[in-house]
Homo-oligomer: A and B are copies of this chain.
Amino acid sequence: MTARTLQGFMELLPEEQIVMEKMKAVIAHTYELFGFAPLDTPVLELAEVLLSKSGGDTEKQIYEFKKGDTNLAMRFDLTVPLAKYVALYNNNLTFPFKRYQIGKVYRGERPQKGRFREFYQCDIDIIDRDELNIVYDAEVLAVIYTVFNKLELPAFKIYLNNRKLLSGFLESLDIADKTVDVLRLVDKIKKIPEEAFLAELADLGLPEDKNKKLLEFIKIKGSNDEIIAKLEDFKIQNGNYQNGLSEIKIVIAQAINLGINPQNIQIDLSITRGLDYYTGTVYETFFDEYPQFGSVCSGGRYDNLSSVFMDKKFPGVGISIGLTRLFDQLRANNLLKIAGPTPIKVLIITQNPDFADKAITLSGKLRQSDIAADVMLRDCKFKKKMEYANKIKVPYLVIIGEDEVANSTYTLKNMLSGEQKTLNLNDLIQEIKK
């Protein structure tokens, strides 16, 4: 039998997995700082539940199968499971309900570079009954900002927009009936030439003068304050436009109250997030120097999470980080700080197999002091033991030899600086913990 892993399924070496786990921990910790509670829904659901909301493309990609008489499917995102969860448990939840979920989702896409069939999504959503305060849209910005700061990745910018602005603008041009199609098209503007964009608008039956006005609108550039000033200058009075303008002003102002560096957020009127699902604020996040990564964190505001499952209205705002793809891109560009293949901080080696008991006892004491430690138990030459220590890139080495045993001391070597100290147990623990 040949050992094989399926194509499109990421499997990491320990030194890579350690970095991945650190990223997950940073993301989870940040989400909790903002009051999001963890959630963990099943990977398998009834097919009819998962497919209740999806369209054609998703349906083709889904891993669906029958077990006994039941049609099952593997989740393809964490949003439909959340909608199901809120529909099922809303009477037991406290609203506003803030949850995060970091979990694997499954899409049977044709495998290609940078596409995965199993990948992590790291989602947050804030859900309320009937109405959700717009300040949460700023909080979500602050979460993205904090996560990417803490991950210590390349310089990034969060681009935001409010779909009501564009809807209101189309209304003012008297072409509101084409809003859904136009917003989907605007979503592609960065990927196609302007002429192609205008041609596609013309194909929708829209007149040239209005299309040019639309193109000008979505191309408005400037600082956030400048863009807001320009948006005000239009003096468009319809409700959609005025709501969108008012909302984006609050979001920017409160994001700054929350401590975001204004350099990291940028209004971009061409961002729409194609999906009809979003109704207000939308977000995308790009690395300044790596635009080819695409958006590494996207999301937005929606009016009703669980409409498929229930009548009650649950508006929300949320984002998702596609962690597997992000990790893969960072790795391919040497942007990950990959170190050794073990989480230990200290490796204990002996100069003589007779001292093994001392080494084993010390490992117990270090671990009881919350220091990750290991003993080199292979019976091999001292030189081999040193080679092993170098290979696993351990930060500290403790050497137990005759002098150390005679004096009840330990020789601690800092593997980075090369510095060596001979210490008693308490001082050893203090020194490592520094």
A contact set with B: CB distance below 8 Å: 1-6, 9-14, 17-18, 20-21, 32-46, 48-49, 52, 63, 65-68, 70, 72, 74, 83-85, 87-89, 92-94, 96-99, 104, 106, 108, 117-118, 128, 133, 135-136, 138, 142, 146, 254, 257-259, 306, 308-310, 341-344, 356-357, 360-361, 363-365, 367-368, 370-375, 377-379, 388, 391-392
Contacts and interface: CB of A to CB of B under 8 A. Distances in A.
Contacts of A118: 42-44
Contacts of A17: 37-40
Contacts of A259: 361, 364-365, 367-368
A42 B11 contact: yes
A33 B368 CA distance: 9
Tell me if A's interface is mostly helix, strand, loop or mixed: mixed
B41 A4 contact: no
Contacts of A48: 1
Nearest to A394: B35
15 contacts: A1-B48, A1-B309, A4-B84, A9-B44, A11-B41, A11-B88, A34-B374, A35-B372, A68-B108, A98-B342, A133-B379, A135-B375, A257-B360, A258-B364, A259-B361
A128 B388 CA distance: 14
Nearest to A129: B378
A368 B33 CA distance: 9
A14 B39 contact: yes
Q: Would you list the 9 A-B pairs with minimal beta carbon distance, nearest first?
A: A65-B65, A35-B374, A3-B87, A259-B364, A14-B37, A258-B364, A9-B42, A32-B343, A3-B309
Contacts of A11: 40-42, 85, 88
Contacts of A306: 3
B342 A391 contact: no
Contacts of A35: 342-344, 372-374
A49 B108 contact: no
Contact of A361 (B67, B87, B89, B258): B258
A360 B258 contact: yes
A72 B6 contact: yes
A40 B35 CA distance: 27
A92 B13 contact: yes
Contacts of A94: 341-342, 388, 391-392
A17 to B, nearest CB: 5
Nearest to A53: B1
A345 to B, nearest CB: 10
A167 B224 CA distance: 77
A104 B11 CA distance: 16
B133 A1 contact: no
